[in-house]
Amino acid sequence: MTSTSTSSPQEPYALTATELLTAYESGELSPVEAAVSVLDRIDAIDGKLNAFCLVDRDEALARARASEERRGRGEPLGLLDGVPTSIKDLLYTKGRPTLRGSLSISADRAWDEDAPCVARMREQGAVFVGKTTTPEFGWKGVTDNPLTGVTRNPWDPSTTSGGSSGGSAAAVAAGMAPLSVGTDGGGSVRIPAAFCGIFGMKPTYGRIPLYPASPFGTLAHAGPMTRTVEDAALLMDVVTGFDSRDWSALEAPRGSYRAAVAEALAQGSLSGLRIAYAPTLAGAPVDPQVAERVAAVARLLAELGADVEEADPGFDDPVEAYHTLWFSGAAKVVENLRPDQFAQLDAGLQGVCREGAAKSALDYLGAVDTRMALGVQMGRFHETYDLLLTPAVPIPAFAAGVEVPPGGEHKRWTGWTPFTYPFNLTQQPAASVPCGVTDAGLPVGAQLVAARHGDELVLRASAVLHAALRETGAVDIVPVG
């Protein structure tokens, strides 16, 4: 791959979080220098990409100076002390509004609480540079909204960054802070990660606690978005663990994800893993170049020692059940809006809210039945296979500002995301690993899926795979744009 970046990878904004921490510890770089570099990068290019809905330079520099002082005393606050970080604007952030891309939310209220993952990052010394864009209430797989407009892809600003965590993906890919936390209710971390050429993971449901509870219920996950798997493991070590505000939160993992990834990279082998390679699911069409890049991943996994077999889980497309659950959640989001506020919503969101409001309790419970049956089917599948490999998204990024590719047959974003939302229904961990680019220079992502609670396995395999892809030159982590 040829990077389109014209900047040296030694610029602080181009460093990964892991590299920044190493530079802080050696004294080669200070948190203030890193923050200034990232903030200047935002000033220079975000006018073209529109990844941020809020940037707070003063707060970021104040937190960076505090980090620098702590490090000068040899007393770093935690694992992320001094690392520039962004937060998707669906996650509450103390002292700053969370407007969720909507004209219906007023900034004039008390914003006095952090979401659990934001609180953990704050406790560990992260330098918050701003909040990233989302489609209104995170409802679709691309990122544009009535409040802040269209977010664009750093690899080609005429194309979409994906969604709903498209602002986070664009920010990470373009060097506007190496870490971000997104949310994923149907692919919203993995879709933009694939489109923007970064790593994005949806952990097992409950692994990263959420508060307030999502109106989309137990479809909604939070997940790390980074340029490397090592950085994702670092972030997972910070944001996972129990929080009393989330009734479904899982206990903290017993070990360190960073240590597990470091061990996997030291071994450099996937020997003993049984991996099912599904070129498609439920007969969904796949762009030939996407299919070719993911097939190459299957071959590489075998070269790395895994036992790779072409195998299909065999389920039918659960899109109707997903729509019932997702559209009902959307209707719940807006149920108390006045008619004039409803009229200001994204037109597509208005449509799905009307559909969701028409669903009955029996419709909803029927969708839950479908979901549970799919979970049983995938549970049995993973008795044979440790991991499932699929494309993350079957197409490359398309024109920015529209929900579906122009001129196609799809009516909703779920039509072109058949590989992501099934695993929100089953709550399994799944990640998009950048695996190359199309002839037009647009990134492709390969999805790795494990059984529930297999988060460490996804990270270990993703790390070894990503390292091998980088050695072959198939991917480049230098930020673009």
* Residues 141, 164: Cα–Cα separation, whole Å: 5
Q: Is position 188 annotated as part of the catalytic site?
A: yes
Give the whole-angstrom CA distance, residue 87 versus residue 131: 5
Q: Which of 30, 67, 164, 168 is catalytic?
A: 164
The Cβ-side half-sphere exposure at 449, using a 13 Å CA radius, reads 29
Active site includes 256?
no
The CA-atom distances, in angstroms, between 203 and each of 47, 145, 284, 393 are 32, 26, 24, 18
- Distance CA(383)–CA(157), nearest Å, equals 43
Please report where in the chains the tokens 């890049």 appear, as a residue. 293
**Spatial separation of the C-alpha atoms in residues 408 and 481, rounded to whole Å:** 28
**Is the alpha carbon torsion for 39, 45, 51, 52 positive or negative?**
positive
- Catalytic residue, chosen from 37, 67, 86, 88, is 88
Is the C-alpha dihedral spanning 331, 333, 338, 339 positive or negative? negative
Contact 156/48 with Cβ under 8 angstroms?
no
Which residue type does 151 have?
T
> Cβ-count burial of 158 within 10 angstroms (0-12 exposed, 13-18 middle, 19+ buried)?
exposed
Spell out where 195-305 has E strands.
Answer: 199-202, 221-226, 274-277
Active site residue 411: no
Tell me how far apart the alpha carbons of residues 434 and 470 are, in angstroms, rounded to a whole number. Answer: 10
- Of residues 220, 149, 392, the one with CA closest to residue 160: 149
Catalytic residue (one of 188, 214, 328, 432): 188
> What is the separation, in whole angstroms, between the first and last Cα of the chain?
15
Query: For residue 93, how many other CB atoms are within 10 A of its CB?
Result: 23
Residue 386: CB partners within 8 Å, gap ≥ 6?
273, 274, 275, 450, 454, 457
Query: CB of 363 within 8 A of CB of 410?
Result: no
Helical ranges in 334-360 per DSSP H: 339-342, 347-357
Cβ contacts of 447 within 8 Å, gap of 6 or more = 190, 194, 388, 389, 390, 391, 392, 419, 420, 430, 431, 432, 433
Mind telling me the catalytic residues? Answer: 88, 164, 188
